[in-house]
Structure 1
Amino acid sequence: MSVSTVAVNLQARHWQAVCNRDDLVAQSGVVVWFEGRQVALFYLPGQSTPVYAVDNVDPRSGANVIGRGLVGHLNGELVVAAPLYKQHFCLSDGRCLEDAGQALQVWPVRLCGDQVEIGQAP
């Protein structure tokens, strides 16, 4: 069984399966329900970190749209562009490149066999 993870403190975490690998769309986002909120999963096969998990709520508009954003590279960072106001959020840490006052929450995520799992705080 292969396991790939985001470089976030993975020790002492409980993992919750949120979907199957087949539910993901390459180079795009899908949204899952996790701990009472919407989380956008971005699947980037072939990358050293193939899955990222970030908050689906756009901090500027308050709309649940981040999972519909476009993934790309900007200034050497892997980002998602918010669909409404086009601000760019780093997938690795959630910070906004245009406005330091905006950020997305990020979660540790991993592929464990055919399951996509998000790390829960201990």
Structure 2
Amino acid sequence: MHRDIQTDNWISVCQLGDIVPNTGVCALLNQRQIAVFHVQAGEARVFAIDNYDPNSQAAVLSRGLVGSVGERIVVASPIYKQHFDLQTGECLEAPEHSVNTYPARIEDGKVWVGL
């Protein structure tokens, strides 16, 4: 089961411009691989989820394709193509393989993730 990680420990990851719109990057934060996504649909938004795909057992989600399924903003895993909701971490095809989400924000042109 996924869980939302909430904390006041914010870490600066990179400049927003360092992430091509509608793609992701992997950041190593406190020994944890986090997939950080820059979604540009109108205003810029950022999302952070675990980089580890439990379906393929590989750390690859940051390399997935960003899109939507209905109203949900998702990333499709590059290996088996399961879709992960970037807001909730839910794996749409296999909810038992959902991932953790982390708060993310843009401030002064920088991407911040809360751990």
Q: Same fold (TM over 0.5)?
A: yes
**Contact persistence 1:19–1:32 (CA under 8 A):** no
Corresponding residue for 1:3?
none
Corresponding residue for 1:55?
50
| TM-score, normalised with respect to structure 1 | 0.82
**Could you say if the C-alpha distance between residues 80 and 9 of structure 1 is closer, same or farther in structure 2, counting changes exceeding 3 Å?**
closer
How many pairs does the alignment contain? 112
Corresponding residue for 1:4?
none
More strand by share: 2
Corresponding residue for 1:90?
85
Corresponding residue for 1:65?
60
In the aligned structure 1, how far is the partner of 2:75 from the partner of 2:40? Answer: 16
**Residue type of the alignment partner of 1:24:** I
**Contact persistence 2:46–2:105 (CA under 8 A):** yes
Moved >6 Å (runs of 4+): none
**Could you say if the C-alpha distance between residues 47 and 40 of structure 1 is closer, same or farther in structure 2, counting changes exceeding 3 Å?**
farther
In the aligned structure 2, how far is the partner of 1:110 from the partner of 1:116? Answer: 6
For the aligned residue pairs, the C-alpha RMSD in angstroms reads 1.9
In the aligned structure 2, how far is the partner of 1:9 from the partner of 1:88? Answer: 20
| TM-score, normalised with respect to structure 2 | 0.87
Identity of matched residues, %: 38
Give the alignment of 1:11-26 within 5 angstroms.
Answer: 13-26=8-21
Summarize deviations over 1:52-101 as a string: whole Å, max 9, x none: 00111111111111011111111321111011111111000100111121
In the aligned structure 2, how far is the partner of 1:9 from the partner of 1:104? Answer: 11
**Could you say if the C-alpha distance between residues 77 and 68 of structure 1 is closer, same or farther in structure 2, counting changes exceeding 3 Å?**
same
In the aligned structure 2, how far is the partner of 1:65 from the partner of 1:9? Answer: 20
> Quick check: 1:77 aligned with 2:50?
no
Q: Choose 1 or 2 for highest CA Rg.
A: 1
How big is the shift at 1:33? 0.9
In the aligned structure 1, how far is the partner of 2:12 from the partner of 2:87? Answer: 20
Structure 1 runs not aligned, ≥5 long: 1-7
